[in-house]
Every structure is written in structure tokens, then in C-alpha cells.
Structure 1
Amino acid sequence: MKAFVLSVAALLTLSTSYAQTWALDKAHAKVGFTVTHMMLSEVDGLFKTFDAKVTAAKPDLSDAVFEFSGDVNSIDTGNEKRDGDLKGEKYFDAAKFPTLSFKSKSFQKAGDKKYKVTGNLTIHGVTKPITLDVVMNGPITNEGPRGKSEKVGFNMKGTLKRSDFGIGAGTPGAIISDEIEVKANGEFTKQADATAEKK
């Protein structure tokens, strides 16, 4: 039994030690959402300030783990007054809850280049599970002025209910839809293995 426990511990340590980090290329990334206004038109918004990273031990990233954080104060819908309302107490309450975050728990293949990612999303101080549809492009080897680098792209889409997170609780769905479409895409660059660099 002791040998089995040691073997499991060794495997976990090994998988962790070989995990690679993929950093977000913010110049080629976007995180946004779409709501329906008065059941008539769609309004798009985005977060100007955010960060994300992916870690994976497998070369094909089939075991990818996603982490994301966004600055609620950077919300932008193209209308200053509306942005101010969204940052206020009635909606996101940015003064009290300035950050939203997501961390994945599973990443499952659903077809050619298609995956389902499930994880915990925290908005407005409330954490709920959410599942997103993912399209993965790559990874590829890119040759640029600074040499070769490995890159991968992810496109994610899904829906959530703002009421689940206590956002705009007093606003009827006929004014602003309860169901919100979320979408994110970005390029990630594989980071140098610090262990390899030391050798």
C-alpha cells in the first residue's frame, strides 16, 4: 500500500513538473459579452483590462487548465453613461467587487478542434460553475524576428444568467435579458521551461 501511495505521489509530482505555461498575447485577445435590450437589439460590451494563462503537461494541450481575471472597471459598451451604470451598485458594483475570474476544472474533447471547458466563474462575489464551447487552433510553431515560438489560439463561447450572480436583480428581463452571451478569444505563447534554462 505504501509503495502504491508513493507511486501515485511520484506521478503527480512528475506531471506537475512537466506542466508548461502558455502566456496570453494581449494584442491578439478579446473578452466580451452580448445582452439583448428591450427584446429588440443586441448590445455588445468588453473588458479592456484582463489577463489569462493556460497550463498543460501534454504537447497537444488536451489537459489544458485555464485561468482568467478581468478588471470590472475596464468595462466598455461604447456608451459612457451605460458603462457607469454597469459599474454601479445595481449591476457589477465594481467598487466592492472590482475583479471577475474564471478557473477551469475540466477540458473535454467534443469533436475536431472542439472542446468543452467547465470551471468556476466568480462575478459580483458569487461563484458558479459554467461550461463554455471551445475551438482550439494549433498549437503551431511560429518563426518571427526573435526566433521560433509555439503558439495556440482559443475561441470560447457560452451563456450565463446574470440573475445567478445577483447582477441587476431589480431589472426585468424584458429590459435587459437575463441570459448573457459571453465570448473570449486569444493567442497564447508557450513560455520557456525554467528548468531547461538552468541546465
Structure 2
Amino acid sequence: MKKLFAIFTALVFSVSAFGQLVLKNDPAHSRIQFEVIHLGINDITGNFDKANLTINADQKNFVNSKLTFTVDVNSINTHIEARDNHLRSADFFDVAKYPTMDFVSTSLVKTANNFYTLNGNLTMHGVTKPVTLTLVYRGSTVNAMNKKTTHGYQVSGTLNRSDFGIGPKFPIPMINDLIRIKGDFELTAD
């Protein structure tokens, strides 16, 4: 009976693993950008230069896939060193205490061809909140350099910095509460 149970368990795990494809991003071609309105008159933009996205893709039904991404907050880059250092400080992200921003999907709903509503939990600055983002599958192609199939995904949405305790000393007329984000990722299978 134990042998039969072991065979059944192995069969279940092999069937559930079939149809799964683990996609990981290419760091040289992946980035998360953000935009915030400063003084009510100007967009300030920047990047997180180090971000990793993993998709445990269900090849039979993509909406059953699981997505996670992690951002190295210390990699913030607005092209102004003094501002970047201030954003890393305890006034904003406090990277010494909270070095990463992490997202784990909870659901994926197809809304149109290659467009999905992505729900999940975002942890930033020690606070975890549910967020809703848009995921777009941009297609796939074989990369001539490494002969691997490369998939393109874009994640976008808006967040309120106050929900995560980012920059509480800076009022909305100075730095808007609404932050627009966009992540562009090229991913390949392991």
C-alpha cells in the first residue's frame, strides 16, 4: 500500500509540474520606472535599476500562473545623486532597514487579448498592502544572440506613497501622493 501511495504521489507531482514553465527576467533588459509630480507642475522620473521578475507560468491556462518580483531599492536612480541619496534615507525608503520591495501575485484575470489584471501583495518600507496592476504580454521571439525564446511582459499601475509610509514629512503639494510605475521585463526559461 505504501508503494502504491508513493507511486500515486509521484504521478500527481509530475502531472502538476507538467505544463509549468519558470520564466526569469534578463537583468540587462529589465527595469522598473516611476513617475511622481513635483510641486504640482513637473513630473520627476526615475528607475530601480535592479529588479527581478519570476513567472511560474501555467502553459495550459496562463491565469493560473504565479508572479513575484523583487526590487533592490538601493538601485534607485533619478540621475541626481543628491536626490537618490535622500530617497535612500529614512525620510523616504530607509534602504538600510528596508532594502527590498517585494510583490507576490494572488490572482490574474484576463481582460483582453494579452492584457491581464494582476492582483497581489506589495511589501514596501515594511508595509504590505494589496495592489492591483495591469500586466501586458508583449509577445515572444527567439533571441539571435543566445538562441533562447525571450518573452516580453510589462507591468504598470499607480500606488499611493502614503499607503506605505514613504516620505510622510513631504506634503502632497510638494510631492504628489500618486506614484505611477511601469516595469518592462524580458524573460527566458531556466
Is TM > 0.5 for Structure 1 vs Structure 2? yes
User: Corresponding residue for 2:185?
Assistant: 186
SS of residue matched to 2:62 = coil
- Is contact 2:143-2:150 (8 Å) kept? no
- 1:153 is displaced (CA, Å) by 0.9
Distance 1:95 1:111, change over 3 A: same
Distance 2:157 2:143 in 1: 33
Distance 1:105 1:13 in 2: 24
Where do 5+ consecutive residues of structure 2 fail to align?
A: 1-7
User: Corresponding residue for 1:101?
Assistant: 102
- 1:143 is displaced (CA, Å) by 5.7
- 1:16 is displaced (CA, Å) by 4.1
- 1:145 is displaced (CA, Å) by 4.9
Where do 5+ consecutive residues of structure 1 fail to align?
A: 1-6, 192-199
1:102-181, aligned counterparts within 5 Å?
A: 102-138=103-139, 140-142=140-142, 144-147=144-147, 149-181=148-180
Q: TM-score, with normalisation over the residues of structure 2? A: 0.87
SS of residue matched to 2:64 = coil
- Is contact 1:151-1:188 (8 Å) kept? yes
Distance 1:97 1:29 in 2: 22
- 1:179 is displaced (CA, Å) by 0.6
Percent of matched pairs sharing the same residue: 36
Between the two proteins, the alignment pairs up a number of residues equal to 183
Distance 2:61 2:189 in 1: 12
User: Corresponding residue for 1:77?
Assistant: 78
RMSD: 2.2
Alignment of 1:42 onto 2:43? yes
Q: Which runs of 4 or more aligned residues in structure 1 lie more than 6 Å from their structure 2 counterparts after TM superposition?
A: none
Distance 2:129 2:68 in 1: 15
Matched letter for residue 72 of structure 1: V
Distance 1:128 1:113 in 2: 26
- 1:113 is displaced (CA, Å) by 1.4
